[in-house]
Amino acid sequence: MLFGLAVSDSCACVLAVKTMWQQHLAKPCLRLYQRQCALTSKAVRVHQLHSTSTGFTDRCYDDLYPGHIHTTPIQKALLAVGSGVAALQNPYRHDMVAVLGETTGHLALINLRDRMRNDPEGYAVLTERPRIRLSTLDLSKMASLPDGSFGREYLRFLEDNHVTPDSRADVKFVDNEELAYIMQRYREVHDLLHTLLGMPTNMLGEVAVKWFEAAQTGLPMCALGAVLGPLRLNARRLQSLFTSLGPWALQNGRRSRCILSIFYERRWEQSVEDLRQELNIEPPPITLSATNKKSTKKYE
Amino acid sequence: MSASMRLLVRRAIRLSDTNIQISAAARAAARAAARSSSCRCFSDAAEDRSTHFGFETVPETEKAKRVYKVFENVAQRYDIMNDAMSLGIHRVWKDMLLHAMHPQPGVRLLDVAGGTGDISFRFLEYVRSQQERQKRRAARSMQTPSWQDISNNYSTEDEDGPLESRAVVCDINKEMLKVGKQKADSMGISTGLSWVVGDAEELPFDDDQFDIYTIAFGIRNVTHIDQALQEALRVLKPGGRFMCLEFSKVTNPVLARLYDAYSFQMIPVLGEVIAGDWKSYQYLVESIRKFPDQEEFTGMIEDAGFYCVQYRNLTGGVVALHSGFKL
């Protein structure tokens, strides 16, 4: 009789497991399997596209924008992992940071695009597609602007930190032309953000800007940089980051207007204070100096 | 005949040869006409002819320039990328080439598309170890010399010094040669190696100069493979050996699928992450697919005038080692 009970118990167990499987796990597993099949078949189709083209047909890449490289989902995943590792090993490889941003930022870019579309100035940026490059900036006019104006301060920032707006890598792996522009705009606006926030390009300033951007855009690459950047700071800077700079950057990132929606090219004459107020950004709690990277920080 | 005259005569012969090849290729084009739209590929003027650059179609004159740019970009990271892409197996392939070559001390090697010098370094190492082995064998057999032996030894001492083997690395790309020279300096190899800039289709050497001609992973980048093969025949001594290591068609279908997936998914990603250059490595995997397979390439080598042409598949056909003799 005990044996009969044990058998019936085990049968009940098996039945329970089976129903549980059917209810909770089978569908997701099936969906995962189907997705896997779809991915591999897509990869094979892409490859077949390559292998069936003979020497006499042109390459069938639809380059959505100059510099666009077509990638399969598997390649994007591999790129994300590889570029992450490479960027961690050598943070000076800006191209790897860029690739990481492109391959992981799809959802955040869509979110940004929707925010830009809902903002009238952002919509103007999306339609007119301005680019910030040395060739498009009128440097002499900007230099003649009064001190405290956005254009003059931006120029001062470029000179003090020895950077140029032309050093940004082009977007390669985003498969949508509009999203690629948004990514490119984000990269070009980064320097302007430094000016707006008053942060130099040393490690602490960069981390503060990254925290702001992570809160603003939600790009995984910014979040990763925000988390891993502080690892390279010494104790004193870490303290200032966590007590004053960090919370300030996060709060303002969350409440400020979308920084990509601003048509900066039309606002060179506007004063920095004015622009900050419009964007809902508080002035920085600490003034960081750009010239001496070692220590001189002025506390206000 | 002066060198310039010889060059002119050679060009004339080549032009007449290309005319014959054009007609042969025209027959091939008729077969492929259903697929191809650019029938002007086989017109008489050389400028109109187009060829493949990976899966792209480019004019022939442009292919050499683009290949030059590819290797100029990848030269600094070439060796690291080779190790990463082949998981180190390329060293095994090159060692197998040397073992098949089995060079004896005193031979002259021409390593075309030698670039960073992998084959030449291995060649010098092999020959040196061969020489040492011979010396050791001679010393072992001469342990108890008679007075006659000793006097013979003294008389023949200065006659022939150690047989000097020489390797010449020839490459069209100066960047690759630069990297190779740096490697040689860091390895401390100074004698027996020279670095020459030259085009495989028109080698800057006289006839009948070399005992062995090798071209490892270079011949698929040449615009006119048949011309490169004819040049190989020209510079080899009678009895000389032609050896070619090149990516080829994988015979096993399962392995072929895996290899294709790995090539197209992984290698450009590796190129982007390690060398920061996606397009060059995309070209590399595509150019492998455009290269003729083992049998067809054997036919091409035979057409150039080599005898006893054989091939051996390495790693299931991923790489094929072709060998032929000039008799």
Q: Do B274 and A95 lie within an 8 Å CB cutoff?
A: no
Q: Do A55 and B51 lie within an 8 Å CB cutoff?
A: yes
> What's the average pLDDT block by block, 10 residues per block, for chain A (300 residues)?
55 61 60 54 46 38 80 92 88 86 92 91 91 82 86 87 82 91 90 86 86 90 86 84 88 88 87 87 77 42
Nearest-CB residue to A82 (from B36, B261, B269) = B269
Nearest alpha-carbon partner for B73 in B223, B285, B280, B273: B280
| Interface residue A144 vs chain B (CB under 8 A) | no
Q: Do A172 and B38 lie within an 8 Å CB cutoff?
A: no
Q: Do B37 and A53 lie within an 8 Å CB cutoff?
A: no
Amino acid letter, residue B294: Q
Q: How many CB atoms lie within 10 A of CB B30?
A: 11
Pairing of strands B108-112, A297-298: unpaired
A269: which residues sit within 8 A by CB, 6+ positions away? A145, A149, A150, A151
- Distance, in Å, from the CA atom of A206 to the CA atom of A194, rounded to the nearest integer, reads 8
Q: Do B279 and A95 lie within an 8 Å CB cutoff?
A: no
What residues does B53 pair with on adjacent strands?
A: B56
| Interface residue A96 vs chain B (CB under 8 A) | yes
Look up the pTM and report it: 0.73
> What's the average pLDDT block by block, 10 residues per block, for chain B (327 residues)?
57 54 47 46 58 88 90 90 93 96 93 92 93 90 84 71 84 94 91 93 95 95 94 96 95 94 93 90 92 95 96 94 95
| Interface residue A58 vs chain B (CB under 8 A) | yes
Nearest alpha-carbon partner for A215 in A204, A227, A205: A227
Q: Would you state the torsion angle of the CA atoms of residues A237, A243, A248, A254, taken in this order, to the nearest 10 degrees?
A: 110
| pLDDT 10s digits, A128-172 | 998 888 888 888 888 888 888 888 888 888 888 888 888 788 899
Nearest-CB residue to B38 (from A50, A56, A93) = A56
- What does the pLDDT read at residue B42? 47
Q: Do B272 and A99 lie within an 8 Å CB cutoff?
A: yes
Q: How many CB atoms lie within 10 A of CB A16?
A: 10
The order of strands in the sheet holding B210-216 is: B193-197, B166-171, B108-112, B210-216, B236-247, B319-325, B307-314
Biggest CA-to-CA distance, chain B: 83
CB pairs under 8 A between A and B: 69
Q: Do A54 and B272 lie within an 8 Å CB cutoff?
A: no
- What does the pLDDT read at residue B213? 96
Long-range contacts of B81-88 (CB under 8 A, 24+ apart): B81/B270, B81/B271, B81/B274, B81/B275, B81/B281, B84/B270, B84/B274, B85/B266, B85/B267, B85/B270, B85/B281
From chain A, the residues in CB contact with B55 under 8 A are 50, 53, 55, 57, 59
Residue of B nearest to A53 (CA): B55
Q: Do B261 and A47 lie within an 8 Å CB cutoff?
A: yes
Q: Do B36 and A172 lie within an 8 Å CB cutoff?
A: no
What residues does B215 pair with on adjacent strands?
A: B112, B244
Q: Is the dihedral of CA B72, B73, B79, B82 positive or negative?
A: negative
Q: For B55, which DSSP code?
A: T
Interface residues of B toward A, Cβ cutoff 8 Å, are 32, 35-38, 41, 50-52, 54-57, 260-261, 264-266, 268-270, 272-274, 276, 278-279, 286, 289-290
Q: Give the minimum alpha-carbon distance from A54 to chain B in angstroms, rounded to a whole number.
A: 7
Q: Do B272 and A46 lie within an 8 Å CB cutoff?
A: no
- What does the pLDDT read at residue A244? 87
A75-to-A43, B255, B277 alpha-carbon distances in Å: 9, 20, 14
Q: Which two tokens stand for residue A183?
A: 């990514």
Nearest-CB residue to B276 (from A43, A44, A95) = A95
For an interface test with A, give the residue of B265, B267, B280 to mutate (most A CBs within 10 A): B265
ipTM attached to this prediction:
0.70
Q: At which residue do the structure tokens 């397979």 appear?
A: B293
Q: Do B38 and A82 lie within an 8 Å CB cutoff?
A: no
| Interface residue A82 vs chain B (CB under 8 A) | yes
Q: Give the minimum alpha-carbon distance from A232 to chain B in angstroms, rounded to a whole number.
A: 23
HEC string of chain A equals: CHHHHHHHHHHHHHHHHHHHHHHHHHHHHHHHHHHHHHHHHHHHHHHHHHHHCCCCCCCCCCCCCCCCCCCCHHHHHHHHHHHHHHHHHCCCCHHHHHHHHHHHCHHHHHHHHHHHHHCHHHHHHHHHCCCCCCCCCCHHHHHCCCCCEHHHHHHHHHHHHCCCHHHCCCCCCCCCHHHHHHHHHHHHHHHHHHHHHCCCCCHHHHHHHHHHHHHHHCCHHHHHHHHHHHHHCCHHHHHHHHHHHHHHHHHHHHHCCCHHHCCHHHCCCCEHHHHHHHHCCCCCCCEECCCCCCCCEECC
Cβ burial A91-115 (10 Å sphere, 16+ → b, else e) = bebebbbbbbbbbbbbebbeebbeb
Q: Do A59 and B260 lie within an 8 Å CB cutoff?
A: no
From chain B, the residues in CB contact with A47 under 8 A are 260-261, 264
Q: Do A50 and B57 lie within an 8 Å CB cutoff?
A: no
Nearest-CB residue to A56 (from B36, B54, B276) = B36
